[in-house]
Amino acid sequence: MVSKKVVVNNKTGLHARPASSLVSFVKKFKGCTVSIVNGEKKANAASIINVLTLGAKQGTELEVIVEGENEEVALDEIVKFIETLEE
């Protein structure tokens, strides 16, 4: 298991469209389980409903946790994706 913190830079946060893009991106890492933590809330990153419940707005610091095959590579790619996420 590996984890890293990332700040949401997207001006609208992780609302429907960016959350959907993130979920689609995460699903390409077949051998991994990806979770995103916002304070006390933890979400399965492969579920749009779960991601939306995080209520992540611009400036929110999230923790991305990855377990499974090539977890370090997956973690780096997912963090980079969140950092560069746009509308």
Catalytic residues: 15
Q: What is the pLDDT of residues 36-69, one digit of tens each?
A: 999 999 999 999 999 999 999 999 999 999 999 9
Please count the structural domains in the chain. Answer: 1
The CATH number covering residue 32 comes to: 3.30.1340.10
Provide the pLDDT for residue 65. 98
Range of the domain at 70: 2-84
Q: Supply the DSSP string of 18-83, one letter for each residue.
A: HHHHHHHHHTT-TTEEEEEEETTEEEETT-HHHHHTT---TT-EEEEEEEETTHHHHHHHHHHHHH
**Confidence band of 86 (pLDDT split at 50, 70, 90):** confident
To the nearest whole number, what is the mean pLDDT of the chain? 96
